[in-house]
Amino acid sequence: MAQDGIPLAAATGTLTRTPLGHLVVYMLRRRLEGSIVLQGTVGDEHVVYFRAGAPALVKTDFVVPSMGEIALSLGFIDQKMHDETLQAVGRSGILHLELLRSVARLSIEQFEACLKEHVFQSMLALFRSLPASASYAFHPEVNLASTQEDDSGMPVDPYPLLWRAACTANIDSEIEATLGRLEKATVELPADAVVDDFAFGRKELLAVELLRGKASSLEALIGTGALDELQWKRVVYVLLITRNLLVGGLGRPSLSPPANPLRSQAPKRAAEPEGLVRISGSLYEAAKDMGNPAFVTAPKPVADGLSEAAARAAVTSRPPPEPRTLPPAMHGVTSRPPPLVLTSVPPPESRPRYLYFAFAAALAPLLLSLGETDSVERRLAETVRRHPELAQRLAQPGLPRAELLGALPDGRILGAHLAWDSHAHWLYAALAAMVFLGVIVALFDRGTARLGDIAKAGVFTGTAGIALLLVVQSIATATSAVWVSPGGGLGVLFYLVKFIGYSYRSALDPDNGMLLSFLGFTFGVGLCEELIKALPLLWHYRREGTLDWRGATVVGLGSGAAFGVVEGIFYSADHYNGVQGAGMYLVRFVSCVGLHAIWSASVGLAIEARQDLLHGVRGSHVWAANVLRLIAVPMLLHGLYDTLLKRGMDGAALVAALFSFGWLAWLIERSRQQNASVDMRRA
């Protein structure tokens, strides 16, 4: 589309190489927002608008049930009401569903159920009628399916849609092609997988249990007789493309992504699983760590041929008029099982809701340090008074720190906790790392994050992340007096590094006032350190995106804590040993580590909530601006905290630290509220 105001397509391809079902899964996994424009072979054009990765609005020329037919089939209106309002629509020009909402007094739930069912049936029409030779173009962050200014659609669950399409949309050739890439490989359903979102029938649910925790070939599964051959292939197909099966010899996928269908790359092998992605409305979570659920049927039956969302609304709404049969266009699978209720899945909150508030206790050493009056200067003066022979040596200008402290009794000034050449701070660092890992696991629900995810983020940040930060700082220092005029991206990078170097110098210059110090600490220390700590999460959500908000929180905490621990090692060796008392080590390895964890967890929650800022972005400068937006608040709080400490305003710095924890708590509670519907389904 080359119309004014419509962005160019970010990706194009054909359904021959990337079938529609694979596109739907890709959009879901990345939570992408935007429109996929589909071109048929006879000049027909169709548009699907995705919101947070789910199809929310469809504009198509194919025949789909009207809104009135959908309301009738759901039992919200009777035939008489349908016919009378349909005639009124012809006279008034009002949308049929809007008229039904006012005349038939449809509830909000019924109204939304009709919208969702219309999207569901429209998507099925695309699956049924689009030829494999049809082309697609993805336009990010734009709604091309809307005919009204405020029409943002109603997202539907892609999982039952994919299952229905596999059963009714004549895509068996696509299924055969995908399963053909398995060859003789075995497939296995992880023991912790949850499959209730697919709306499988009873026979399919029982058959799927044969896959749970046991690797089997497709041929062996067909031989069990639990399902006929075609139905087995359909079940394995939808589990495979949604990455819910372990493929023999491959196991769970690593952080490397699958082939990107939005770049028209044909997959080289069957998709590998990475944990079940759950959806409720427009909210998702992965269910890697959920236990093996026991299923029981609920008492209310689900209407034949309808999507799960519509069926739930149908059975919970006011008593319907005389039941009606479905119009022919809406008949699908011959039967639908009752909705499934998880009875043994533990609720996501396995601990008291506000238990994580105890993490604020990490700031206690910082609070206690406010009452200290024993300064380094006074203790150094007392040391010289007791050892007057040191006065002449200490007066020598430019004396290296090692020689200065090495000349002192026991290698330390009076009241110092460790000698200047001590390595005990390494023990403190190891202890802090273990304690913080235990505290994070004890106080915070891990959601979809595994313990290994937290550990890997911490190891990366504490090693490669710190090394990268040191490299950037070294380059910034080395180029402080260098002025060149490189062009293009290299020039932008060169002056960005110089700006960071200038920010560091502004932050540390004792002659600079409050404003320059704040800007220096924010755009030097705050920017670099928060970005380094965010790298594991940026990498994950750019390529995978399986962590829910709880997982993003604990991985952020782990990354930040690791950074704080390693920073404590550097500070101890370069500034504390031989000089500072025990209280400073407590502040450094407890309060400062906790603060770094708080800031990076806040960044993690921001990234999880706005993953769309990392995808479908044209231009590295736009992507960089989006990343800056995601880390902005912790970066500012970090800069403010350091500035206040530099100015000797320790009490105000404590307030900034407490505000930082308050900001994290607000983000946690906001995420909890926004994902409440998902949690209810797991409870």
Mean local confidence (pLDDT), 369-376: 80
* Residue 139 backbone phi and psi in degrees, to 5: -110, 105
DSSP state of 355: G
pLDDT tens track for 332-362: 333 333 333 323 333 445 578 899 999 999 9
- The residue with tokens 């505290």 is 439
Q: What radius of gyration do the chain's Cα atoms show?
A: 30
pLDDT of residue 328: 33
Percent of the chain's residues with pLDDT above 90 = 35
Model confidence at 192, pLDDT cuts 50, 70, 90, reads confident
Mean local confidence (pLDDT), 98-126: 83
What does the domain layout of the chain look like in residue ranges? Answer: 424-675
DSSP state of 591: I
Distance CA 448, CA 548 (A): 6
Using an 8 Å Cβ cutoff, are 136 and 32 in contact? no
Q: Secondary structure of the chain: what % helix, strand, coil (to 5)?
A: 55, 10, 35
Query: Does 530 have pLDDT greater than 90?
Result: yes
pLDDT tens track for 219-271: 889 888 889 999 999 999 999 898 888 887 554 433 233 333 333 333 333 33
Mean pLDDT computed over every residue of the chain:
79
pLDDT of residue 484: 64
For the chain, give the longest Cα–Cα distance: 108
Helices marked H in 61-168: 67-73, 79-92, 96-103, 108-129, 158-168
DSSP state of 415: T
Distance CA 64, CA 61 (A): 9
Mean local confidence (pLDDT), 470-476: 84
Query: Does 653 have pLDDT greater than 80?
Result: yes
Model confidence at 3, pLDDT cuts 50, 70, 90, reads low
Tokens of 153: 């659609």
pLDDT tens track for 49-65: 999 899 999 999 898 88
Burial of 667 (0-12, 13-18, 19+ CB in 10 A): buried
Distance CA 28, CA 545 (A): 10
Burial of 605 (0-12, 13-18, 19+ CB in 10 A): buried
Distance CA 528, CA 504 (A): 10
Query: Does 544 have pLDDT greater than 80?
Result: no
pLDDT of residue 68: 84
pLDDT tens track for 4-50: 567 788 888 899 888 999 999 999 988 889 999 999 888 889 999 99
In terms of phi and psi (left: phi > 0; alpha: psi -120 to 50; beta: otherwise), the region of 415 is: left
Mean local confidence (pLDDT), 607-622: 80
DSSP state of 510: T
Distance CA 662, CA 634 (A): 12
- Three-state secondary structure call for residue 246: strand
Distance CA 486, CA 472 (A): 18
Using an 8 Å Cβ cutoff, are 579 and 422 in contact? no
Mean local confidence (pLDDT), 472-476: 82
Query: Does 389 have pLDDT greater than 80?
Result: no
The answer to which of 130-139, 541-550, 665-674 has the lowest mean pLDDT is: 541-550
- DSSP track, 522-577: IIIIIHHHHHHHHHHHHHHHHHT----HHHHHHHHHHHHHHHHHHHHHHHIIIIIT
Nearest to 630 by CA among 654, 647, 615, 614: 614
Give the pTM: 0.56
Query: Does 179 have pLDDT greater than 90?
Result: no
Going by C-beta distance under 8 Å and a sequence separation of 6 or more, which residues neighbour residue 412?
Answer: 405, 418, 419, 420, 577, 578, 579
Query: Does 439 have pLDDT greater than 90?
Result: yes
Q: 3-state SS of 459-481? A: HHHHHHHHHHHHHHHHHHHHCCC
pLDDT tens track for 569-582: 999 999 999 999 99
pLDDT tens track for 34-43: 999 999 888 8
Q: In sequence order, what are the beta bridge partners of 297?
A: 340
pLDDT of residue 391: 75
Query: Does 291 have pLDDT greater than 80?
Result: no
pLDDT of residue 322: 36
Structural element, H or E, at residue 297: strand 295-297
Structural element, H or E, at residue 391: helix 391-394
Percent of the chain's residues with pLDDT above 70 = 78
pLDDT of residue 507: 78
Structural element, H or E, at residue 287: none
